[in-house]
Amino acid sequence: MIYVWIRGLIARSPLRITGATTGIALAFALLASLGLFLASSSLSMTSRAVSGVPIDWQVEMVPTADARTVKEAIRKSALISALHQVDYAAIDGFVAQTGGTTQTTGPGKVIAFDAGYAAAFPQELRLLAGTLDGPLVAQQTAANLHVSPGDTVTIRRPGLDAVNVVVAGVVDLPDADSLFQAVGLPRQAAPQAPPDNVLILPASDWARLFSPQEKVRPDSIRHQFHVRLERKQLPADPTQAYQFVTGAVHNLEARVAGQALVGDNLGARLDAVRGDALYARVLFLFLGIPGIALAAIMTMTVTSTNADRRRRERALLRVRGASLGQVVRAAGAEAVLCAIAGIALGLGVTAAFAMARGAGTFAPDWLTLALSCGLALVLAFAAILLPAIRETRELTVMAARGFVPKTRPPLWERTYADLALLVLSGLFFWQVASTGYQIVLAPEGVAATAVDYKAFISPALFWIGSMLLAFRVARLIVDRGRKAIGKAVRPFSGSLAPAIAASLAHQSRRLAFGVAMLSLAVSFAVSTSIFNTTYNAQARVDAELTNGADVTVFGTTNTPAGDHLKALAKLPGVVAAVPMQHRFAYVGADLQDLFGIDPTTIGEATHLSDAYFSGATAAQALKALHTTPDGVLVSQETVSDFQLTQGDTINLRLMNAADHQYHRVPFHFVGVAREFPTAPKDSFLVANSTYIAKITGNSAQEYVLMKSSGDPAVVARSAGKLLAGTPALKVKDIGEATRIIGSNLAAVDLHGLTRIELTFAAIMAAAASGLLLLLGLFERRRAFAVLNVIGTRPGQLAAFIWSEGLLVLAGGLFFGAGAGLATAWMLVKLLTGVFDPPPESLVWPVGYLAIIIAFVVASSAIALAITSRTAAGPSAGLLRDT
Amino acid sequence: MPEPLVVFEEVSRDFPTGSGGMFTALSRASGAIETADRISLVGPSGSGKSTLLNILGGLDLPTSGKVSWPALGARDQLRPGKVAYVFQASSLFPALNGFDNVCLPAMLAGEETGLQGRAKELMDALGIADIAEKFPDEISGGQAQRIAIARALLLSPKLLLADEPTGQLDSETAQHVLDVMLDTVEEAKAALVIATHDPIVAARLKESWIIEHGHLHEPRRKTAA
């Protein structure tokens, strides 16, 4: 019997099977695609996160330690791919005589790398001028001493005579923070600034000059082992990788107890990235779960469009003598058929989607696939089998054969649960958003992590509440607005207007359900796309903030990028090129980055967000600077440290070009800058470049910021070629900055998630409008046949059908857009902590939203046109069916 | 001599079968229906009664042969108004109440307001005035059928075609409904064709056409109504 039943279903009700199968396939494919994305993203998260860590461990020996023993212990604690020694000597200062002047610096460091270090840790040293063979002087030190290759530098050793070395090259130490970090300090200690003055000697020279110093001043000498772990041994998940590395460090600490201290840069990095992994999960939940829920609801809805027919068919089986068990088995067989077909189709969609998004191959994640299959089966059974089981328990055969009108409003409607949910959502949102909470808790140094799942309550309640409210309002409008609807449809329905209005009113519940479903799908598309666009825009702002502009040329005072401004401005694709000074200035004893800008032109090349400034908009802050030639914008940290109030005079010390000495220069404090392009996070200064040039006697513009009209990478390549002869100039584009930013949410590859979300959102919006409309109208084809046989003209029939469709379309778009916008706002507010800097406003994906509206309108129009055409055709045969 | 309402010559209707073949529901039927004809179309289930009614009412087209409506006009001008149809099964529009269902042909014809009184009269005559506000899913099959009959009679059609119109009614109600139908077509000087199994219903009509296996036998006139 089951075989005959299934064969009959396939032959006689293909649309019904297709509808249920499509819904199941959609839910399966969305869950599978998201799950596979998350799994593959997690797999690469550790390797992506640690790729930027130059030195995994810095193991510093105590003066009495045996280097060989420590080395052995390191090799035993984990698989090691590189292990090299670095020696540090603290010195009293450097002296250089150039151009008839003598420059003297404060205390500094002289360091040495052993053989092979540069190859093992290439990120530590970048040659700017001269050669790597011989004594090297750091860029800032070279600027302070005003030396270049070939000049002599005197090293003032504590407790010993000064010695001279001849500079072979000038280098940049990109990783100076880590290289000079104080190993063994507690994690909560304030970060140690790298020394301002650094000289690097070959290992043999260092040993010759500083072995004597180690004897007289052992406290001034440090020896470290720099270690790189074999990365293959790290687990893919950052949390597990963190636990692995921390365990290895503990093991090493136990082995070298009393002999060495361990600086765990790799662990610190993984510690920070654990939060990102959790954010990935949070985003998956925030953005993915509503989509899966929507797909599930759509499947149930598609199936319920012909629930009456299924019920009557089952009743007929019972009348013909089928037992309850046989009826349930028949429904179960149909559910299994739809589930298997849905899984097969969903697998195909998932694989195609994985290929299309560039995954290359379709790598199955068994847990994801198992969960997706489970979802498909649950949906099929809930939609098809469950009603059959319920009927056999609750309805007599005759009751099942007839119509089951629902006259009483559902419980939620009678108890105003929709309004209650919205109020609760608002209360939760207020409670969460007003307390400056952290949605992801991954405290530094603590292995345990946590996600504040309470934050999900608010959007979840809002989502359900807004859908139910859309239902209630749509029903009330259709129910109570009969006259108004009659007037609205009269222009195209003529004397049929009252009948159409009455018909709509009678179907208010069905139509309101359609409005709620469409609004749900549209709100999902709108909220997801607005959140994603806002996120992407903010990630770009973050990258631009780090890089300075689309493309930035970084130079030095000795080799300023501003010298090439005209040539750079003429490169193809460059919309604007603006120079910017980058100097250093002492605020008290604190050496800070000083940026010299022209406030009237800086905005041409880079975006200055209002969020970068405190107490003023970007325009107001720049205006204050422009109107105060000796004005300075100061970071919040400096304002707090020095108890500054607006209008105060601040005396900074800047290096003068004439004598290469730092001199006191008065500035007026005109505003607070939280962030500034290329500026470090903690403390910096922004002033007028003309004033800086005047008081330092040096008009050099170290940086050039460029805005591009096309791909910044192309402009960066052109600039690189142009400046190939000046290696001291470094060109970076915004894409590179995006890849480098890893300490915040940008480490989560949202693009893949976005693409999956937005594609499925579009499909579901189109399905919610077109497919549901088509199925709903198809189920009512008998009613349209009635109209047809009593003489309804095709135009009049179309008026009936289109008025229903347009009502659902207008209501769905209206409520969906409103709810989507509110949800996006809520998501951005709840996830504000992950935006850096926080967004000023939501960003509308106009193009995508236009496509969604076009999809929805087109699919509705197609469904309505098909129905109108079918309904106007021969239909007497339909009225013979009982 | 007035023109006949319907003339059909050598009319056949084939339907495709699930196995890819064709099934002939009506084979080379010929005849004519004149004004004031009272015809019962009698035959076993599946004999082609409904197929012939559908073709006479312009709801379906023959596969071969010719059908025309000399006194009524072109096929697309038959409904609503000149030809009305009562189906065997429920044929009410589910989203409208009883009264609106009866008035629907008038709305379609743009004569809504003038015929509301007539709709009430018909509902009174058929004993369904008390269910005017009820929707199809709130009434019995018999009540729905009487609403369908009232709807068919509203515009005083020139040709009323009915497929087992009393099949869902008890015999007393069936006779009463038949009386109303006959009175109404009499008033309108219309023709009535009823497809029926019921010999009592067939006996009330002047003429009886017998149809078997798709073949319409030579129309046979009765001597008395």
Q: Do A499 and B100 touch (CB under 8 A)?
A: yes
Tokens standing for residue A31: 């869950």
Å from A877 to nearest chain B CA? 9
Report how many Cβ contacts below 8 Å link chain A to chain B.
Answer: 84
- For chain B, the distance separating the N- and C-terminal CA atoms, rounded to the nearest angstrom, is 22
Q: Do B91 and A502 touch (CB under 8 A)?
A: no
Name the closest residue on chain A to residue B46, using Cα atoms: A880
Which amino acid, residue A343?
I
Q: Which residue has the higher pLDDT, A441 or A329?
A: A329
Q: Is A644 helix (H, G, I), strand (E, B) or coil?
A: coil
Name the closest residue on chain A to residue B85, using Cα atoms: A790
pLDDT at A615: 84
Mean pLDDT of chain B: 84
- Which residues in chain B are contacts of A789 at CB distance < 8 A? 59, 79, 85, 87, 91
Model confidence at A436: pLDDT above 70: no
Å from A881 to nearest chain B CA? 7
Establish if A874 touches chain B: CB-CB under 8 angstroms.
yes
Tokens standing for residue B44: 């076993």
Nearest-CA neighbor of A509 among A477, A486, A461? A477
pLDDT at A473: 93
**DSSP string over A430-491:** HHHHTTT--SEE--TT-S--EE-GGGGHHHHHHHHHHHHHHHHHHHHHHHH-HHHHHHHHHH
CA distance A805 to A42: 44
Establish if A407 touches chain B: CB-CB under 8 angstroms.
no
- Which residues have a Cβ under 8 Å from the Cβ of A674 and sit 6 or more positions away? A611, A612, A613, A614, A635, A636, A837
- Look at A708-717, B1-10, B169-178 and tell me which has the smallest mean pLDDT: B169-178
- Are A368 and A350 spatial neighbours (Cβ–Cβ below 8 Å)? no
Mean pLDDT of A294-318: 75
Where are the domains positioned within chain B? 36-62+72-221
pLDDT at A424: 93
Model confidence at A144: pLDDT above 50: yes
- Surface of A (2-21) touching B: CB under 8 A: 11
Q: Respond yes or no on whether the N-terminal peptide bond of residue A572 is cis (omega within 30° of 0).
A: no
- Tens-digit pLDDT profile for residues A508-555: 888 898 899 889 888 988 988 888 888 777 777 777 888 888 899 998
CA distance A547 to A539: 12
Indicate the helix (H) or strand (E) that contains A59. Answer: strand A57-61
Establish if B108 touches chain A: CB-CB under 8 angstroms.
yes
Tokens standing for residue A62: 């105590």
CA distance A276 to A766: 33
Model confidence at A296: pLDDT above 50: yes
- Look at A56-65, A627-636, A733-742, B129-138 and tell me which has the smallest mean pLDDT: A733-742
- Look at A553-557, A632-636, A822-826, B107-111 and tell me which has the smallest mean pLDDT: B107-111
Model confidence at A187: pLDDT above 60: no
- Look at A502-511, A638-647, A747-756, A757-766 and tell me which has the smallest mean pLDDT: A747-756
Q: Do B110 and A507 touch (CB under 8 A)?
A: no
- Are A270 and A229 spatial neighbours (Cβ–Cβ below 8 Å)? no
- Which residues in chain B are contacts of A506 at CB distance < 8 A? 94-97, 135
Among A351-365, A519-533, A746-760, A834-848, name the most confident range.
A519-533
Q: Do B93 and A787 touch (CB under 8 A)?
A: yes
Give chain A's radius of gyration (CA, Å).
35
- Which residues in chain B are contacts of A798 at CB distance < 8 A? none
Å from A1 to nearest chain B CA? 20
- Tens-digit pLDDT profile for residues A560-591: 899 999 999 999 989 999 999 998 888 887 77
Closest in B91, B93, B138 to A405, CB measured: B138
Strands A730-733, A551-554: pairing is antiparallel
- Which residues in chain A are contacts of B95 at CB distance < 8 A? 502-504, 506-507, 783
- Are A70 and A108 spatial neighbours (Cβ–Cβ below 8 Å)? no
Mean pLDDT of chain A: 83
- Are A835 and A535 spatial neighbours (Cβ–Cβ below 8 Å)? yes
- Surface of B (110-169) touching A: CB under 8 A: 110, 112, 135, 137-138, 151
pLDDT at A188: 46
Q: Is A725 helix (H, G, I), strand (E, B) or coil?
A: coil
Q: Which residue out of A879, A881, A882 would a mutagenesis test of the B interface target, given it has the greatest number of B Cβ atoms within 10 Å?
A: A879
Computed from CA positions of residues B197, B200, B203, B205, in that sequence, does the dihedral angle turn out positive or negative?
Answer: negative
A744 confidence band (pLDDT: 50, 70, 90): very low
DSSP state of B135: -
- Tens-digit pLDDT profile for residues B52-105: 988 998 888 899 999 999 988 888 888 888 888 888 777 888 888 899 899 988
Domain B36-62+72-221 has CATH 3.40.50.300: yes
Where are the domains positioned within chain A? 1-56+68-79+237-259+267-406, 81-229, 413-546+746-882, 556-728
Closest in A786, A874, A876 to B92, CB measured: A786
Mean pLDDT of A179-201: 72
> What interhelical angle do A2-12 and A14-50 show, nearest 10?
90
Q: Which residue has the higher pLDDT, A403 or A348?
A: A348
- Which residues in chain A are contacts of B87 at CB distance < 8 A? 789, 879-880
- Look at A299-313, A435-449, A697-711 and tell me which has the smallest mean pLDDT: A435-449
Q: Is B214 helix (H, G, I), strand (E, B) or coil?
A: coil
Tokens standing for residue A873: 């055709």
pLDDT at A398: 53
pLDDT at A235: 84
Beta strands in chain B (DSSP E): 6-16, 22-33, 38-42, 64-68, 83-86, 159-163, 191-196, 207-212, 215-216, 220-221
> What interhelical angle do A781-789 and A846-871 show, nearest 10?
50
Mean pLDDT of B17-46: 85
Establish if A508 touches chain B: CB-CB under 8 angstroms.
no
A747 confidence band (pLDDT: 50, 70, 90): very low
Establish if A361 touches chain B: CB-CB under 8 angstroms.
no
Q: Which residue out of A478, A495, A510, A786 would a mutagenesis test of the B interface target, given it has the greatest number of B Cβ atoms within 10 Å?
A: A786
pLDDT at A440: 61
Q: Do A502 and B93 touch (CB under 8 A)?
A: no
Q: Which residue has the higher pLDDT, A634 or A745?
A: A634
Establish if A790 touches chain B: CB-CB under 8 angstroms.
yes
pTM (2 decimals)?
Answer: 0.73
SS3 content of chain B, % helix, strand, coil (to 5): 35, 25, 40
- Surface of B (2-61) touching A: CB under 8 A: 18, 50, 54, 59-61
CA distance A813 to A518: 7
Å from A617 to nearest chain B CA? 59
Q: Is B39 helix (H, G, I), strand (E, B) or coil?
A: strand
Nearest-CA neighbor of A712 among A745, A680, A736? A736
- Which residues in chain A are contacts of B138 at CB distance < 8 A? 405
Q: How far is CA A390 from CA A299, A316, A324, B62, B122, in A?
A: 19, 16, 11, 46, 43
Strands A631-635, B191-196: pairing is unpaired
Mean pLDDT of A675-681: 83
pLDDT at B223: 46
Q: Respond yes or no on whether the N-terminal peptide bond of residue A837 is cis (omega within 30° of 0).
A: yes
Establish if A405 touches chain B: CB-CB under 8 angstroms.
yes
- Are A291 and A524 spatial neighbours (Cβ–Cβ below 8 Å)? yes
Model confidence at A446: pLDDT above 60: no
Beta strands in A241-296 (DSSP E): 260-264
SS3 content of chain A, % helix, strand, coil (to 5): 60, 15, 25
B112 confidence band (pLDDT: 50, 70, 90): low
Å from B107 to nearest chain A CA? 6
Among A111-115, A752-756, B91-95, B107-111, name the most confident range.
A111-115
CA distance A542 to A137: 32
Establish if A793 touches chain B: CB-CB under 8 angstroms.
yes
Establish if A309 touches chain B: CB-CB under 8 angstroms.
no
Model confidence at A599: pLDDT above 90: yes
What was the ipTM of the complex prediction? 0.84
Q: Which residue has the higher pLDDT, A796 or A152?
A: A152
- Are A547 and A733 spatial neighbours (Cβ–Cβ below 8 Å)? yes
CA distance A683 to A636: 8
Establish if B105 touches chain A: CB-CB under 8 angstroms.
yes
Nearest-CA neighbor of A141 among A176, A170, A99? A170
Å from A793 to nearest chain B CA? 8
Model confidence at A391: pLDDT above 90: no
User: What stretches of A455-613 show up as alpha helix (H) in DSSP?
Assistant: 457-480, 482-493, 497-506, 508-547, 565-569, 602-605
Q: Do B96 and A503 touch (CB under 8 A)?
A: yes
In chain A, % of residues over pLDDT 70:
89
Strands B191-196, B38-42: pairing is parallel
